Amino acid sequence: PGMDNITPILKDAQDPDNNIRLAAEGKLKQLQERNRSNFLLSLSAELSSEASPPECRCLAGIILKNSVEGKYSEDNSLLIKQWNNLDPCIKSQIKESLLITLGSSAPQARHASSQIIGRLAYIETPSERWQDLIGRLLGNMAQQGASPTLKKATLEALEYVFEEENLRFDKDTINGVLDAVIRAMNHQAEKSSEVRLAAVKALRNVLTFANFANDDDCRNRIMTAICDAAKHDEAAEIKHAAFVCLTAIASNYIMELEPYMETTLSRTTEALGLEGGVETVALECIEFWSTICGEVIELRERKKRFAHAIPSADCHFTEKPLCLLVPLLLQTLSLHQERDVDELNIFMSSVACLGLVARTIGDAVVPLAMQFVEGNIKVADWRSRKTAISVLGVMLEGPSIEKLAPVVGLLMDRMEDPHMEVRGTAACTLGRVFELRHSPALDKRFFTNEDFPRIMAALSKSGKDVPEVSKEVCGAIYFLARGYDVAISSEVDHSKKRISSELSPFLGGVIDALLSASELDMKTPFGLPASASAYGALIEVVRVSNIWDLKAVLAIIVLMPRIMRRLNTALDAKAISSDDKTNKHDLQALLCDVLHAIIEKLGNSLHGDKVRESAPFMLLQFCRVLTCDCSTARDKAALTIGALARAVGPKFLDFMPIFLQYYSVKLFSPIYLEAIGTIFHALGDEILPCCDHMMDVLYEGLSQPELKPQILACFGEIALAIGKIFEEKYLQAVRKELKEAANPRYYDEDKVDYGNQLRQGICKAYSGILRGIKDRKSGLKVAADLVEFIEAVSEDKSRCT
């Protein structure tokens, strides 16, 4: 059949009139469904026709591309099959039209053709059904008097063809492509900057197929062409594309880059724009060196893990150029100190790169960086002072503690800086010091005993600074406390935990600072965003405080009623807007977390009576949180109630009337039911007066399928906690519920996940019951039930393995 004249339909398909456009889209769909081969042939003819309107050619290219392009969709296999099933003659005509279109005067048609050629190469090359493709493309490049537009489109086609890394080409083909691409990159031989740019972009993909690692001549030609493009070409886009190629090479062939370090460093000096450059070029240049550092770091890590790693994996040849790079990066920071978005991008990239350089060359970075820091940290311009502190922050990983000794003193000075942003950056950097280099367990400390009082005084004072600063101070305190947590958890001799913590003398001031940072805003009862970091730090400080140190314990005792008052205020405050409601719930959850930490700390100390004295009021507060409509806050309250029960012990029975007012199925959740088990364990046999009611409510909850797995598991905890009482009063009923839960109706194919959860709950129940009951006969009956359950599960092929 002859080709359809689809030009009018393609034109109507872009008409602003909705009715005309929809009708045209319907016609295109009909043509495709009626005769796909003819439809695709018509599209290719439209794409290559110089007589057709540009917009029609453009749409034809899009439709044709979508008819064969599906590698990122579920339709990929179908589209490939449909193409392969076309008549070979039709396919040849379509491919010929695409090759002709590369010389078109319409840019969009050329671009579409390049993309489609790349896609068809992916489909056809493995089966060798388009054997002359590369030859035809190279013929375009070698053609005498070929237009720049033809060469550009041809290079774009090569870029897309070599985008598919799973294709295979012989050595001669690759060498021929490299010759053509490198020739087109030459600024002396090729006058068109658009052609040169297309050539560099094509090279980026051809690199994957070149024998870069083993062929010295090939490698030298490629590196020479790239470095020349980065140096001599005036077009910023070409310089950028050249550095993209260098970055790709660094990612895959770092060991082969040794002979080219001096040249690439020279190109870096030019590209960083120290005398006025382009942002995109500078950013890609920095990315190249960041990649170099990342590869070196990864090789060293690999060498640590694998003893057979090659000796050269340290990449010592990178150290000298990286040392020379540091002043360039520092100068770049000075020139781009966050004055606009473009400069911010360069600034942040340079900071990140400097951090990687520090990790790579270690101590060698310190004198270079400290010279910059000392020259900028006291100047009048606050941005320069802030930049100096940023440099201190990024060189914390890599150099030794001895080399970094001056850092703490410099940061302490800047905590008093007149400018808010400088103080905030200093506090943030101090937090990084604590996060990365602080632990009492280390043989060498980042700060001395003489430094510590000054550090704590600065943190306590700055915690009451403006929110932008106090938030960073909270982060610093959090990481400081975490360091002691690691030291305690790694301590073998547990008697050493009794030694007074360094924090203890300063705990009162630190707590005051954190409470100040988290002060409730006068405009809203639900606090500032910074309060989350303040309470998080407060929790860590409480957790690591030394319960054998009287000063620390007294500070926590004083803290407890202050947090209780805040929780009470948050509970009573009215939330109008949705944001207020969210903030209220978040604040309740945070305050429950703080009280949880306090209860666990004091409950295990000689001052547990302080928790018992406040238990009724705290329990009522937590129960009120249980009724809010935020699951996170409810779960935090339930966990804290469990902690309170553990701390108070059997005397918690006195407060059970309060809890039972809030004990109902509608409040049940996995965490809530976990807290029920904790309460039973805490009270033991003392819970007997409440048992019947609590078990009845649990039985009632079994009617809700989503709760059944957790309730069954809770039965196991209860049996383990009260043993004989459970055996005498509840064992028979619970056995019946467990057998009912094992009923096959719960384990349909569409309920696999739920069925597995239910079985886990049953297993936990049997485990607790068998450990809790003491009567041998009862135990044998339960064991028989368990064996029957296991046999049923083993026969079910859909079970979770």
DSSP assignment of 8-46 equals: HHHHHTT-SSHHHHHHHHHHHHHHHHH-HHHHHHHHHHH
Quick check: 524 and 505 in contact, CB under 8 A? Answer: no
Residue 311: what pLDDT? 54
- Say how far residue 719 (Cα) sits from the centre of its chain: 43
Instruction: Please enumerate in sequence order all residues whose Cβ is within 8 A of that of 631, keeping only pairs 6 or more positions apart, or say none.
Output: 669
Cα pseudo-dihedral 779, 782, 788, 789, rounded to 10: -130
CA 696 vs CA 662, 690, 700, 703, 711: distances in Å: 15, 10, 6, 12, 12
Domain total in the chain: 2
- Burial of 268-305, coded b for 16+ CB within 10 Å and e otherwise, reads beebbbeeebbbbbbbbbbbbbbbbbbbbbebbeebee
| Angle of helix 279-305 versus helix 236-252 axis, rounded to 10 | 0
Quick check: 122 and 71 in contact, CB under 8 A? Answer: yes
Quick check: 60 and 22 in contact, CB under 8 A? Answer: no
Report the alpha-carbon distance of residue 199 to residue 178 in Å, rounded.
10
Tell me the residue range of the domain where 394 lies.
Answer: 211-303+312-404
Quick check: 360 and 398 in contact, CB under 8 A? Answer: yes
Q: Each residue of 69-93: pLDDT tens digit?
A: 766 666 778 888 888 888 999 999 9
Report the alpha-carbon distance of residue 734 to residue 548 in Å, rounded.
45
Residue 546: what pLDDT? 85
Let me know if residue 691 belongs to a domain.
no
Residue 418 carries which DSSP code?
S
* Cα angle, residue 574 at apex, residues 571 and 576 outer, rounded to 5°: 135
Picking from 709, 722, 731, 724, the residue whose alpha carbon sits closest to that of residue 783 is 731
Let me know if residue 710 belongs to a domain.
yes
Cα pseudo-dihedral 634, 636, 638, 644, rounded to 10: -150
Residue 540: what pLDDT? 93
Let me know if residue 763 belongs to a domain.
yes
Let me know if residue 768 belongs to a domain.
yes
Rg (the chain; Cα; Å): 36
Let me know if residue 576 belongs to a domain.
no
- State which of 404, 420, 445 marks the end of a domain: 404
* Tokens (6 digits) for 122: 């992916």
CA 332 vs CA 284, 346, 381: distances in Å: 14, 8, 16
Give the CATH number for residue 374: 1.25.10.10
Quick check: 648 and 682 in contact, CB under 8 A? Answer: yes
Consecutive H or E run containing 717: helix 708-722
pTM over 0.85: no
Residue 750: what pLDDT? 67
Let me know if residue 352 belongs to a domain.
yes
Report the alpha-carbon distance of residue 89 to residue 438 in Å, rounded.
73
Residue 494: what pLDDT? 43
- State which of 351, 382, 404 marks the end of a domain: 404
Let me know if residue 567 belongs to a domain.
no
What residues of the chain score a pLDDT lower than 70? Answer: 1-4, 70-74, 233, 273-277, 307-314, 338-343, 441-443, 486-501, 520-530, 746-750, 797-801
- State which of 373, 404, 435 marks the end of a domain: 404
Let me know if residue 273 belongs to a domain.
yes
Residue 197: what pLDDT? 94
